[in-house]
Structure 1
Amino acid sequence: MLAAKEEQLREFQEEMAALKENLLADEKEPCCLPQRCVPKDTCRLHRENDQIMTNLEQWVTNEKLGNDLQEQVKYIAKLTGEKEHSHSQVTHMPSVLSWF
């Protein structure tokens, strides 16, 4: 599951790099819009790009934490089962000892 998420992250990063290349290529081409509009749009696109990357990184972090929590819950359940088993053996011991 984590490997699939990391693969998805890598694909997103590759797509982001391609989009950045396209953006830079578009910035180099003459535009029919007035020059003062282009920097605003470029700045906005860069902010949106950064926000997307931040959100994506946060999502990956949350996925990893979720996986860690699931593993911890499984481990706690295992330990609880072992504790209950040990407790039942200890409570059964006095009756076994009285036979001797």
Structure 2
Amino acid sequence: MLAAKEEQLREFQEEMTTLKENLLADEKETCCLPQRSIAKDTCRLHRENDQIMCNMEQWAKEQKVANEKLGNKLREQVKYIAKLTGEKESILLYTRIKKDGHSALPHTLSVLGMDC
């Protein structure tokens, strides 16, 4: 999805560059064209430029929302991994104590929050 949006941004930038080049070319030809035609072309170019800018702003907003969602998912996964790691360590400790002998088991269980 990000690659597609980046490609869309590149297309918008290329389109804007083309429009700027057209605008410069139109300005160079002003001495040869009637004034009414120049005004229409300039207005059209401004409208097209405004549309491109609106499209780019919309794309940026969509990217912001997508990045926020991705960030939230990553934070949730980090919390879940930390929880699983804690549980794994508790199980390993419990297993080691059980293997070594039952004498320290009640104390260890209370430390782990598993009172007998």
If the TM-score is normalised by the length of the shorter chain, which range does it land in? Answer: 0.5 to 0.7
CA contact (8 A) 2:9 2:56 kept: yes
Residue segments in structure 2 that go unaligned for 5+ positions in a row: 91-108
RMSD: 3.5
**Distance of 1:94 and 1:49 partners within structure 2:** 65
**Structure 1 residue aligned with 2:42:** 42
Larger Cα-atom Rg: 2
**Structure 2 residue aligned with 1:57:** 57
Residue segments in structure 1 that go unaligned for 5+ positions in a row: none
Shift of 1:82: 4.6
Shift of 1:5: 3.8
Shift of 1:42: 1.0
Counterpart of 2:61 in 1: which secondary structure? Answer: helix
| TM-score, length basis structure 2 | 0.52
**Distance of 2:15 and 2:51 partners within structure 1:** 15
**Distance of 2:19 and 2:40 partners within structure 1:** 18
**Alignment partner of 1:22 is 2:32:** no
**Distance of 2:113 and 2:28 partners within structure 1:** 86
Compared CA separation, residues 7 and 13, structure 1 to 2 (3 A) = same
**Structure 2 residue aligned with 1:12:** 12
Shift of 1:10: 4.0
**Distance of 2:61 and 2:113 partners within structure 1:** 50
With a CA cutoff of 8 Å and minimum separation of 6, indicate the structure with the bigger relative contact order: 1
**Structure 2 residue aligned with 1:70:** 70
| TM-score, length basis structure 1 | 0.58
Q: Percent identity?
A: 55
CA contact (8 A) 1:2 1:64 kept: no
Aligned amino acid, residue 16 of structure 2? M
Report how many aligned residue pairs link the two structures: 93
